[in-house]
Amino acid sequence: MTASVSITLKVNGETVSADVPPRMHLADFLRERLALTGTHIGCEHGVCGACSVRLNGEVVRGCLVLAVQADGAEVLTVEGLSDSGEIADLQEAFRNRNALQCGYCTPGMLLTAQELLAQGGVPDRETIREHMSGNYCRCTGYQAIVDAVETTAAARAAARG
């Protein structure tokens, strides 16, 4: 049998240590070991984006990073991003625009959209679509999601003055 590996990482600001089997991916680690079930799992091969998390400041596929590879890293999930209030306006725009139905894709959409919005500026719809192209939604048809991201970008730009 293969040996477990000890890892220590920061998840949503808290230091976590655990022994994990090398084959366990980060999304499973977050869900099963830390009960952070906001990170969803769809395809487990990188196609759908439901598992998106922030790793050392960048959005990645939780299903394509092994938990052992995240040793020493800082991970932020949709729970952390919600609690900090960083995406409160984006979440509200999603609600207002009906940018979610079943909500399965939503955590990944929020993380991915916030990565684009954090670059500043007001991206056009084409740029938004391009940036979100790796995230599947099986319910909304995407228009409402692009609307919500566009609205948030405009509101943030206005607030910046």
Partner 1 sequence: MKAAAFDYARPATLDEALGLLRRHGDAAKIVSGGQSLVPALNLRLLSPEILIDIGRIDALRGITVEGGTVRIGALTRHVELMNSAPVAEKLPLVAEAIPHVAHPAIRNRGTIGGNIAHADPASEMPAVLQALDAVIVVRSADGERRIAAEEFFTGIYETALRADEIVTAVEVPAAKAGERFFFHEFARRSGDYAIVGLAVRMTVSGASASNVRLGFFAVGDKATLAEKAAAALSAGPVTAATVAAAQAALADDLTPQDDQQASAATRLHLARVVLGRAVAALLEDPSLAGRTAA
Footprint (CB under 6 A) of ligand FES, residues 12-41: 41
> Given the complex with ligand FES, which of 102 and 154 has the nearer CB atom?
102
Long-range CB contact pairs, 113-117, < 8 A, 24+: 113/145, 113/148, 113/149, 113/152, 114/81, 114/86, 114/87, 114/90, 115/54, 115/58, 115/59, 116/149, 117/90, 117/149, 117/152, 117/153, 117/156
Name the one range near ligand FES by CB under 6 A: 6-14, 42-50, 69-77, 123-131: 42-50
For ligand FES, give the closer residue by CB, 137 or 153. 137
Residues that bind partner 1 (CB under 8 A): 1-3, 5, 21-23, 25, 28, 44-46, 49, 52, 55, 58-61, 63-66, 68-69, 112, 115, 129-131, 133-135
